[in-house]
């Protein structure tokens, strides 16, 4: 008996959580997705595995608060642990679980597959290399997908992912970013690539450098990159005092 079966009885059929875990791999932005498997394979043989890719998510337990649910479900489906996730929005379109293949999958998984499900979505942004997903429970696979090449997802998960990306873009344009995602010493090129991978757009190199300079956010180190094939670039560190001030807002 796996974790899903043993706890089916005390799952709340009306409320789920979904986790949008963004991972940055020094070059591009990715998101963690699972491929779901069918609990009873008998009549599911005609399903299309391409339509079974989803965000890690599941029903909450009736005795569990939402943050605890999110952590548990992410761990059960992907093995990922110790990720600080932020709740960002509830999704409640009355038809969000009614697409044909979703309904078929729900029939194999739940006692009340017709029930409307409202989902509470969480998100996080991590350094990809620190987390190696490992599928379990009803996840057949658990993999990082580039944001630029997203498949069609189950339920309303494309919409949830898109909204999470909007939140991330908003944060990038309002708050300093990079301390947890870049090496301690980094080049302006590395910093710009991080911004571009999130904003999904090329930034003008001169404008970007001028803006960063005017924020006084970076400390030039008078050191250069080592062991790179291209011309070594100057290295920088964040000025943490300015970094924190920018996080504290305009009244400071």
Q: Which residues are at the interface with a second copy (CB under 8 A)?
A: 12, 14-15, 60, 62-66, 69, 87, 89-94, 116, 118, 120, 170, 172-176, 195, 211, 215, 246, 248-252
Q: Which is nearer to a second copy, 90 or 132 (CB)?
A: 90
Residue 243 φ then ψ, to 5°: -50, -50
Nearest distance, CB of residue 32 and a second copy, angstroms: 22
Nearest distance, CB of residue 106 and a second copy, angstroms: 17
Nearest distance, CB of residue 201 and a second copy, angstroms: 11
Q: Bridge partners of 120?
A: 17, 90
Strand positions, DSSP E, the chain: 11-24, 29-36, 53-54, 57-61, 86-91, 118-127, 139-146, 218-224, 234-238
Q: Cβ neighbours of residue 203 under 8 Å, at least 6 residues apart?
A: 192, 195, 196
Q: Which is nearer to a second copy, 2 or 87 (CB)?
A: 87
Nearest distance, CB of residue 70 and a second copy, angstroms: 10
Q: Which is nearer to a second copy, 89 or 141 (CB)?
A: 89
Question: Considering only CA atoms, which of 113, 98, 104 is closest in space to residue 59?
Answer: 113
Q: Longest Cα pair distance anywhere in the chain, in angstroms?
A: 65
Q: Which is nearer to a second copy, 127 or 171 (CB)?
A: 171
């Amino acid at each position: 008996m796996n974790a899903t079966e043993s706890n089916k009885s005390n799952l709340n059929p009306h409320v789920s959580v979904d986790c949008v875990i963004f991972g940055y791999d020094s070059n591009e932005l990715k998101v963690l997705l699972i491929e779901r498997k069918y609990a009873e394979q008998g009549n599911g043989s005609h399903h299309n595995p391409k339509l079974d890719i989803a965000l890690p998510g599941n029903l909450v337990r009736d005795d569990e608060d939402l943050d605890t649910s999110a952590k548990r479900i992410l761990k059960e489906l992907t093995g990922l642990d110790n990720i600080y996730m932020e709740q960002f929005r509830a999704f409640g379109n009355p038809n969000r679980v009614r697409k044909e293949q979703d309904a078929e999958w729900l029939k194999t998984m739940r006692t009340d597959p017709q029930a409307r499900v409202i989902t509470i979505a969480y998100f996080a942004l991590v350094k990809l290399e620190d987390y190696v997903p490992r599928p379990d429970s009803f996840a057949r696979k658990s993999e990082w997908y580039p944001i630029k090449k997203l498949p069609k997802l189950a339920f309303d998960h494309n919409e949830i992912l898109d909204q999470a990306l909007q939140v991330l873009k908003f944060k990038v344009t309002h708050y300093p970013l990079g301390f947890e995602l870049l090496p301690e010493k980094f080049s302006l090129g590395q910093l710009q690539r991080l911004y571009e991978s999130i904003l999904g757009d090329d930034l003008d190199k001169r404008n970007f450098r001028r803006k960063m300079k005017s924020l006084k956010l970076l400390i030039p180190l008078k050191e250069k990159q080592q062991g790179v094939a291209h011309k070594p670039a100057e290295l920088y560190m964040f000025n943490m005092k300015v970094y924190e001030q920018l996080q504290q807002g305009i009244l400071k």
